[in-house]
Amino acid sequence: MDKFVIQGGKPLYGAVRISGAKNAALPVLAAALLVPGTCTFHNIPDLVDIKTIKKLLKNLGAEIEGSATVRINAEKITNAEAPYDLVKTMRASVLVLGPLVARRGEARVSLPGGCAIGARPVNLHIKALQDLGAHVTLKKGYIEARAKKLKGADIYFDIPTVTGTENIMMAAVLAEGTTVLNNAACEPEIINLADVLNGMGAKITGAGTDVITIDGVTSLQPVEASIIPDRIEAGTFMIAAGITRGEISILGCNPQHLEALINKLRDTGMSITSIAGGLKATGGERIKSVDIKTLPYPGFATDLQAQIMAYLSVGEGLSVITETVFENRFMHVSELMRMGADIVIQGGSAVVRGVPALHGAQTMATDLRASASLLLAALVAEGTTEISRVYHIDRGYQSIEKKFSALGADIKRVK
Ligand code: EPZ
């Protein structure tokens, strides 16, 4: 297993180009299952999770080629099963459920296990599929769904679930009649998916709001489309500029997707300005404390909570960070404390008391965004930090050590 070895203390300067969004590419690749033909998608990031979903789609009978540009031909779906050994490595595999039921009338998808950040049930996906008329049973850890023809329905999500909204949107595009998703998630990745589906001939309106209407069609055609930039990767580099008190031009990002973070970073004393092709983030003299509450989009992204905690841990005064989306997304706290951070968890909140400096330590990544948080802390910590189990970070960040080295960081990947 690889580890990162990082010497802290160097302000980062330069420009970084943001890759395509992992959480947009995953549902878009799954959507290709709906089309008996070849779809072409550009700006696909080179990540472990993308390799995983490609393996799963090939398992189902799709032919796939290419990396940054992917051509996927789902003419022949020879199998409707997403096996446990694949799904357990990536929960987002559940995104093949909706397309398979819509295209083939059946699906057998392993229940995704929990993960470090929470139980992460998929009960809302299942209930909504039943609302569309699918017969769904849970057998031996698998979701077994069947439907001769899905029927449009009025659906209400108890919680605005991102992949739940995506799964059901993909199921509903070939249903008979109209489906309305109420309390739908509003993330930019959902808009990207809806644009791709509409490009295939679907009739979806309202994506990006909490009410999405889908008028079912009888078939879909191949499409060529691009994946939006990764707002979480962009946010991670903005915070890197702040924590190292450097200045980074973040190219290819979409500032509109980052408004909650931009406002908070400005409140801490950073300067964030629009430049041609993206944003420029400049660290401030001081890091003033701010309170953070994670919420579904357009609120502050839970996927940036660990990263901003590392930043605030070397700020001034007290910052209260409240995580409202997942029940156990503070795994990075104990690792940050080993580097000298002063953080107390009280229920769903972490009270961060800024310290003058962190010190290097041996640490271990527990989940994708926690590992990004440790990397940010290591960039500013005095001395050497080792981060083990970096396979977590490879799932969601393309060539992260190369991108940080190009900005002046002293970071090495050690086998
Ligand atoms: C997506 O996960 C993202 N993953 C996550 O990113 C992200 O953290 C999350 O949305 C929230 O923004 C992908 O898009 C592949 P949810 P998802 O369904 O869809 C509860 C990363 O780092 N819930 O919006 O699984 C759930 O437990 C990953 O890239 C149910 O109770 O998240 C959570 O508390 C981590 N039942 C809340 O809803 C359900 O059926 C929001 O989860 C579904 C969800």
Q: What is the pLDDT of residues 8-63, one digit of tens each?
A: 999 999 999 999 999 999 999 999 999 999 999 999 999 999 999 999 999 999 99
CB of 368 within 6 A of ligand 1: the answer is yes
**Best mutation site among 48, 49, 93, 161 for ligand 1, i.e. most ligand atoms within 8 A of its Cβ?**
161
CB of 159 within 6 A of ligand 1: the answer is yes
Share of the chain above pLDDT 70, in %: 100
pLDDT value of position 320? 98
pLDDT value of position 122? 93
Q: Which of 106-120, 267-281, 287-301 has the lowest mean pLDDT?
A: 106-120
Closest-CA residue to 8 (of 368, 398, 357)? 357
CB of 303 within 6 A of ligand 1: the answer is yes
Asked if residue 324 has pLDDT above 90, the reply is: yes
CA atoms within 13 A on the CB side of 132: 37
Distance (Å) from CA 311 to ligand 1 centroid? 24
Retrieve residue 369's tokens. Answer: 């965004």
Catalytic residue from among 39, 115, 186, 253: 115
Share of the chain above pLDDT 90, in %: 95
Retrieve residue 18's tokens. Answer: 């943001």
Q: Is 127 exposed, middle or buried (0-12, 13-18, 19+ CB in 10 A)?
A: middle
253 classed as catalytic: no
Distance (Å) from CA 193 to ligand 1 centroid? 16
* Nearest-angstrom CA–CA distance, 265 and 268: 5
Asked if residue 218 has pLDDT above 80, the reply is: yes
CB of 81 within 6 A of ligand 1: the answer is no
* Nearest-angstrom CA–CA distance, 394 and 390: 6
CB of 307 within 6 A of ligand 1: the answer is no
- Protein residue with least CA distance to atom 26, ligand 1: 120
Asked if residue 112 has pLDDT above 90, the reply is: no
Average pLDDT value for the chain: 96
pLDDT classification of 116: cutoffs 50, 70, 90: confident
C-alpha 10: how far from chain center: 28
Asked if residue 114 has pLDDT above 70, the reply is: no
- Number of the ligand 1 atom closest to the C-alpha atom of 124: 40
Q: What letters, b where the CB count within 10 A reaches 16 and e where it falls short, cover 364-380?
A: bbbbbbbbbbbbbbbbb
C-alpha 395: how far from chain center: 10
- Number of the ligand 1 atom closest to the C-alpha atom of 187: 12
Closest-CA residue to 374 (of 23, 385, 384, 382)? 385
Question: Do the Cβ atoms of 339 and 358 come closer than 8 Å?
Answer: yes
Distance (Å) from CA 135 to ligand 1 centroid? 24
